[in-house]
Amino acid sequence: MNWLKRVAEIGVVAGFLALPATLQALDLSGYEIVDLSHAFDEQTLYWPTSASRFELHPLARGHTEAGYFYTANSFCTPEHGGTHLDAPIHFAAGKHTTEQIPLAKLIGPAVVFDVSLSAARDADYQLRVEDVRAFEATHGRIPAGSIVLLRTGWSRFWPDARRYLGDDTPGDASKLHFPGYGPEATRLLVAERGVSALGVDTASIDAGQSKDFMAHRIAMAANVPGFENLTNLERLPATGAIVIALPMKIKGGSGGPLRAVALIESRE
């Protein structure tokens, strides 16, 4: 696969899986590294029905009797909140749990659909088959193994729950309004293009008004994970970036906090 060759060239594979006798520094000077994750803190957004939120509890902070400085905390968070992974088991019985997802599905070439103008006109906009066809008419057929990212522009509202989710009624998820993937476009990407993962800069790969969560059900029945609450997608080109999206490795998990980054080759 061409994208694996590119990753090897920057050292992610060559530098760590085939170490030379004399270790060489990993040179990323020719790449822009874009952080695609929101930080976790007391403002982190969760689904309205979530029973808890992110909590950080100090265990130690200060100078010890031995004279050195030491800090440690404990934290608690639901799996599904902030920038996070949806493992296929989240919506498909018997499919991959978090730790079972192959790394090849979490590292790969990015394909970025920009529907921000359509979403600005319609908060309930869903990616359509026509959008995929139009993208391919310009950029070529989406390669198998791609990580598809849907840029809606919604990350600019983070962490304002009312604007980001469309409603901030505690415990009520029936009034949400934000864009997502339409079922038919999801089916095309998963079944016909063989993409590895679907990501979005909103709270769900399904649009906020979805009641049947078909994008989740279609993708995850095919063992395709989701990345939700991404950010900085406006900094990525339509094609050409490499995404590395590594979740907390929770055994038996249905998801978990996600640190995702993109590598963009400099054009200078």
Which tens digit of pLDDT belongs to each residue from 216-256?
A: 999 999 999 999 999 999 999 999 999 999 999 999 999 99
Share of the chain above pLDDT 70, in %: 91
Question: CA nearest 246: which of 52, 149, 78, 108?
Answer: 108
Share of the chain above pLDDT 90, in %: 88
Q: For domain 27-51+79-265, which CATH number applies: 3.50.30.50, 3.40.50.300, 3.30.565.10, 3.40.50.720?
A: 3.50.30.50
Token pair, residue 36, equals 């695609």
Which tens digit of pLDDT belongs to each residue from 84-97?
A: 999 999 999 999 99
90 among known catalytic residues:
yes
Would you kindly state where each structural domain of the chain is located, as residue ranges? 27-51+79-265
- Taking residue 20's Cβ as centre, other Cβ atoms within 10 Å add up to 8
Catalytic residue among 90, 96, 139, 177: 90
Length of the chain: 268
Q: What is the dihedral of CA 8, 96, 45, 109, to 10 degrees?
A: 20
Cα–Cα distance for residue pair 170/172, rounded to 1 Å: 6
pLDDT of residue 267: 75
Question: CA nearest 82: which of 150, 186, 164, 148?
Answer: 164
pTM of the full structure? 0.91
